[in-house]
Amino acid sequence: MDTEALHTERDRSSAPGTDGSGAGEGSRSVCFRRRPGWRRAAALVGACAVFLLLLSQFVMQPFLIPSTSMQPALEVGDRVLVNKLAYRFGSEPRRGDVVVFDGAGSFVPEDAAGNPVSAAAREGLSALGLTEPSDTDFVKRVVGVGGDRVVCCDKGGRLEVNGVPVDESYLYAGETASHVPFDIVVRQGTLWVMGDHRSRSRDSRDHLGEPGGGTVPLDRVIGRADWIGWPADRWSPLPPTGAFDRVTAPDGAHG
C-alpha cells in the first residue's frame, strides 16, 4: 500500500497545472501561443504605415499649416489635404488655386534642407501630418501664371492681372493687395504666388531681386490644397474664388 501511495503522489506532482515543472511548461506554452498575435499586430501597423506613406507620396498628403500667412482661409495648426493628382495629367495650376510647393531654389537656397538623415525623418513625419513641413515647403495662392503681367497697385489699391483689376475677397480683413509696389511679367513655366494675409506673408514679392524673380517653377509644385482635414470643427473644402474669372491671357485666350 505504501508503494501505491508513492506512485499516486508522484503521478499528481507531474500533472500539468500543478505547482511542479508542468506548470512552468504550461505558462511557456501560453506565452509561445501569444507571440504570433503580437507579430501580426506589428505587421498590420507596419503595413498601414507603408500604405499611408505611399498614399501621401502619390495621391493625397496632409500638410500642417505652420504660419498665419494664409489667414483667414488657413489657420495655424490646420491640416490641409494636398491633392497630388491635381496637376499630374496635363493640368496646370490656375489663378486662385492654393498650392503647396517646394521653394528650394526660388524662396530658399537649394541646400536649405540640411542634414539628409534628419530631413528624411522629418519628411516622413510631415507626410503623415505629424509635424511641421520641411523648411523648404510653402503654401500660397496662385496670382499669376506664365505670361501674365501682374501689377500692384491700381488707383483703387487692387492688383491688376493682364490689365484687369482683381477684387480679392479672400484677403485677411483690413489688408491691402500689397504695401510693396511691383510690375512683373511671369516667366513661362512658372507661377507668381502670394499669401492671403499679405502683411504676414513672405512670398513672390520678397524674392523679386533673386534668381527666378520670385516665381516658382511648375515642376516644384507638390499639389493643390483642396480640403481642411483637421481640426474636426474646421473640416471643409477650400472654397474656390471667382476673383480671376474676368482675367484673360495676354493673347486674348481665357487664362
The per-residue pLDDT for range 83-128, each reduced to its tens digit, is: 999 998 889 999 999 999 999 999 998 875 555 555 555 555 555 5
Name the 3-class secondary structure at 120: helix
Whether the model pTM is above 0.75: no
DSSP helix/strand/coil, 184: strand
What residues act catalytically?
69, 140
Residue 252 forms part of a structural domain: no
Report yes or no on 134 lying in a domain.
yes
Query: Within a domain: residue 41?
Result: no
- Has residue 53 been placed in a domain? no
- Rounded CA-CA distance 121/158 in Å is 43
Average of pLDDT values for 209-217?
A: 89
Residue 30 lies in a domain: no
* Number of structural domains found in the chain: 1
pLDDT 10s digits, 120-144: 555 555 555 555 667 889 999 999 9
CA distance 190 to 184: 12
Give the CATH number for residue 136: 2.10.109.10
Residue type, 39: R
Residue 48 lies in a domain: no
Burial degree of 227 (CB within 10 A; 0-12, 13-18, 19+): middle
